């Protein structure tokens, strides 16, 4: 049984073009027996007003690059994004990966994992399903010879750990700056240091690596 709770006023917006996949996800919502309201759209452009919904669930192969205007709308309306990832398709568009608050591999999609992903993301916690987290960490640690190198301890300062936790919470650089009462330039520098120490090319993989290293917990 799911252990995480869901707020009664949580509204879900589904953006899944494939009819069979969308019907499957909608069926899972019904089986959850929760007060969640889910609305489906075939295309992300249909969400121009961004009104009402609190959480967007979209399939990674259904969207192109995220425009600055759309990203600003998501932030303005405080809409969190959960991406359903298809390991057989192209990688998640980077602009969306930076915006996302959670990732759920289609291979891991079940009513209980969907419930946990939604409740975590809606509550401001980062979510990564087991298959995706395992694959991301393994891929990042593979060398040309296919062997994983010995892992050195990762040492973050208290301030860097603060930034890492806020990144995992889905906050933008601007929001982190406001939260810590420092300049946005200072946040960019700290984020760069965190990515460098975790040896990760982006914020998403940094969170996954930090979880694997025990610096963060799901």
| Average pLDDT for runs of 10 along the chain of length 218 | 53 82 84 69 58 73 76 77 78 74 86 87 78 57 47 76 89 90 88 82 81 76
Instruction: Write down the pLDDT at residue 5.
Output: 55
CATH code for the structural domain at 150-213: 1.10.10.10
- Map out the domains of the chain as residue ranges: 11-139, 150-213
CA distance linking residue 17 with residue 40, whole number of Å: 9
State the Cα torsion 3-5-126-95 to the nearest 10°: 130
- What superfamily in CATH does domain 11-139 come from? Response regulator (3.40.50.2300)
The H or E element containing residue 102 is strand 102-105
Up-side HSE of residue 21: CA atoms within 13 Å toward CB? 20
Among all chains, which residue has been given the structure tokens 């990732």? 103
**70 contacts 77 by C-beta, under 8 angstroms:** no
pLDDT of residue 179: 92
Please check whether residue 135 is in contact with residue 69, taking contact to mean a CB–CB distance below 8 angstroms: no
3-state secondary structure (DSSP) of residue 128 = strand
């Amino acid at each position: 049984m799911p252990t995480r709770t869901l707020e009664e006023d949580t509204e879900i917006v589904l953006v899944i073009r494939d009819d069979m996949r969308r019907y499957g996800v909608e069926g899972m919502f019904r089986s959850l027996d929760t007060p969640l309201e889910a609305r489906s759209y075939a295309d992300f452009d249909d969400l121009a007003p961004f009104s009402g919904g609190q959480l967007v669930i979209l399939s990674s192969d259904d969207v192109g690059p995220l425009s600055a205007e759309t990203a600003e709308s998501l932030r303005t309306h405080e809409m969190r994004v959960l991406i359903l990832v298809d390991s057989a398709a192209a990688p998640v568009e980077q602009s969306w990966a930076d915006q996302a608050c959670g990732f759920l591999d289609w291979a891991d999609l079940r009513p209980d994992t969907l419930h946990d992903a939604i409740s975590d993301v809606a509550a401001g916690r980062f979510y990564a399903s087991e298959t995706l987290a395992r694959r991301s960490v393994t891929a990042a640690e593979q060398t040309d010879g296919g062997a994983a190198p010995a892992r050195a301890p990762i040492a973050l300062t208290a301030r860097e750990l603060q930034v890492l936790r806020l990144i995992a919470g889905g906050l933008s650089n601007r929001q982190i700056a406001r939260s810590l009462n420092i300049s946005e330039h200072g946040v960019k520098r700290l984020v760069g240091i965190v990515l460098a120490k975790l040896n990760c090319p982006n914020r998403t993989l940094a969170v996954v690596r930090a979880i694997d290293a025990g610096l963060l917990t799901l």
